[in-house]
Structures are given as structure tokens and as C-alpha cells.
Structure 1
């Protein structure tokens, strides 16, 4: 693949990935409430979700996404409702100092949250179909370039999302104590609610 095109793609992907969206908001919320490992679990889920979409697109099976569009909408709305529920629950929870809580290990639910948010976001497949070709050399093999671009996108996005998880996790120790924990719960609640609403109102274009 043309190195200059690849480098331009990396920079463009980084700029787009830095802009907070449903995935970033989810990662920050869980990193604040449960620590960096929780945010990383979310990121791993988003990587899997994006891999599935990229694989379908790369195999020329966009019709699969079209055929399952209604199912994706149901899953998206269910995920949105669940995130809003978690947000309200966090907002209403009493402030409990982190030092009084047992360490929460990220479970399958955190991973699945990431999968749902990623796989039900139509912007991903639109990005794949419209954005990738702008950085492909027509004189070279298309499948090979698509593979490189897909892997690059996943790596850059995952790195930046994990950076958000790390930074948010680093803020967590400063929220020790019942009063600060109450503030943390409200921040987490707002972020989860915003994520759910953003996911619910995402539309295919």
C-alpha cells in the first residue's frame, strides 16, 4: 500500500477517533465508575463489533446489513434503554467511598456493551464504504488495501479509546470519599444517559 496514503489515513482516523461519540462516552463513564479495566473491556467489545462490520463489508456482503437492519434497530434501541437505565441507577445511587467498595472486575456485560454500541452504529459501515476508498491506490490490490486500512482503523481507534479509559481511570482515585463518590456517580450517570440517547437517535443516512 502507498505509504503516504496510509499515513494520511492514520492521521484522518486519529482526528475522527478523538472526537467524543457514544463509544468514547461509554468508555469514560465505566472507567470513572469501575476503573480503567472496565473501560478497556468496553474497548475490546467495540473492536469485536467493528471487526464484524468490516468483515461483512470487506466480503461484499453489505446486503446482510440491509437485511438485518430492523434487527439492528431493535438491538440498538434495547442497548440504548439499558444504558439509560444504568445511567439513572448510577445517578440515584448513594455516594459510597471507593475505599469501602470491593474491586469490581469487568465482566461480560461491559464487553457486550462495547459490542452493542459498535455494531449498531451505522456510521461505522458508512465510514467504511465512503471513507476508505479515498485512501486507496487504484493501481494496487483492493482487498489487500482494505485489509491494511481496516486493521489500521481498529488499532488507532482502540489505542485512542484506551487512552480515554486510562485518563478517566486515573481520575478515579481523586473521587474517594462518600461526597466525592456521589459526584462521581452523577457524572457517570449523565455520561451513560447521554450515550444511550445518542445511540437511540443514531440514524442511517
Structure 2
């Protein structure tokens, strides 16, 4: 793979990650609601989910991704339903004072870690990106395995880097919504983000 082809792949990956989607929304919502640490746990989960997808592609690129692309609607509805369920649950919650929450027991990071995995592997846009774009950047004159490893690792690293930035930024904005009076508003904002993204995912097309 030439350096020009690799840089083009990295640029396409960065554009995909920068576009608001289910993973970005979940990371921002968790960081606003529970803090930067929880947002970073979500990033860790989504990174594992992305790694699972690229590993599936590396083991059988065309077969695995074509099969997943054929299940676009099923995966889309599963991901949309999960995000809407999280949003409704957040909307209905009473919210918690950030100061009180910080003083109390930390939120279970394993739960949001698994949320990150689930949202990542049920994101149809990412699956279609793998299926449609990975083959476009493969140099047929070069070893296939090395190219797949390079692109897979690069995708996961770039995604984790940008998602971490979203988590840190949302964590800083969290202080604006501190205080018991704003706890309900914070829950409503995160709920709307998740529900809106779920609806958008449900309306997505190939």
C-alpha cells in the first residue's frame, strides 16, 4: 500500500468518525451525565466493538462484510431500538446532583463499557463503511494480510482518538450543568440526544 493510498484511507476514516453518529452521541451523553471517566469507558467499549468488526473482516473480508451488509435493516433496527431505550430511560430518570454523584459510589464502568460494544457492533453505517471502503484502498499488488492489519489498527486508533476528544470536551461542559436544579435538565438533554440518534438510525438507508 502506497503512502498516498494510506493517507486517503485515514482521511476517509476521520471524516466518518467526525460525522455525528450513535457512538459519538453515546460518548457525549455518558460524559455529560456521569463524567469524563464514564465517557472514556464508553470509548473503550466502542473500540472493542470496532475491533470485533475489523477482526471479522480480516478473517474473511468479502464474506463477512457482505453478510453483515445484507442484514443492514435488522442491525439498524436493533441499534435504533437500543439507543431509544437508553434515551427513554435517561429521560424518565430524576437526575442526580453532580456534586452528590461525585461524592458517592462511582458508576459501574463495566455497564457503559458493554453499552459501547453493543452500539458499535450494531452501527450499520460502520459496517457499510467496512464493506464498501476497505476494498477500495487495497493494493492488489501488495500482501493482503498486512494491508488489512494496517487499515484495521488505524481505523480503531483514529476512532478511539476522536471519541476520546468528544468525551473530554463533554466532560468539561458537564460543569455548566452542575447543581441539583439542573440535574433534571441534564437527564433530558442526554435522553434527547440518545432518542434523536436512535430515530435517525431507524430512518437511515443504505
Aligned to 2:100: 100
After superposition, the Cα gap between the structure-2 partners of 1:56 and 1:109, relative to the gap in structure 1 and judged at 3 Å, is same
Local SS of the residue matching 1:104: coil
Alpha-carbon spacing, 1:124–1:93, altered in 2? closer, same or farther (3 Å): closer
Q: 1:90 to 1:120 in 2, by over 3 A?
A: closer
Q: Is the 8 A contact 2:76 2:124 kept in 1?
A: no
Gaps of 5+ in 2: none
Say whether 1:112 aligns with 2:114. yes
Q: How many residues get paired?
A: 203
In structure 2, do the counterparts of structure 1 residues 49 and 192 end up closer, same or farther at CA, with 3 Å as the change threshold?
same
Structure 1 residues 27-78: Cα deviation after superposition (integer angstroms, max 9, x where no partner): 11111001111111111111122222212222226545638x77x93x7645
Matching residue of 2:59: 59
TM-score (norm 1): 0.85
Match for residue 5 of structure 1? 5
TM-score, normalisation: structure 2? 0.84
Matches within 5 A, 1:11-90: 11-60=11-60, 63=63, 66=67, 73=74, 77=77, 80-90=80-90
SS in 2 for 1:94: coil
Correspondence for 1:159:
161
Structure 1 contact 54–125 (Cα < 8 Å) conserved = no
Matched residue, 2:198: 196
User: What is the deviation of 1:123?
Assistant: 2.5
Contact 1:45 1:115 in 2 (8 A): yes
Between stretches 148-157 and 98-107, larger displacement belongs to: 98-107
Tell me the SS of whatever aligns to 1:58. helix
Counterpart residue number, 1:143: 145
Give RMSD over aligned pairs. 2.6
Q: CA deviation at 1:91?
A: 2.0
Alignment equivalent of 2:130, drawn from 109, 128, 131:
128
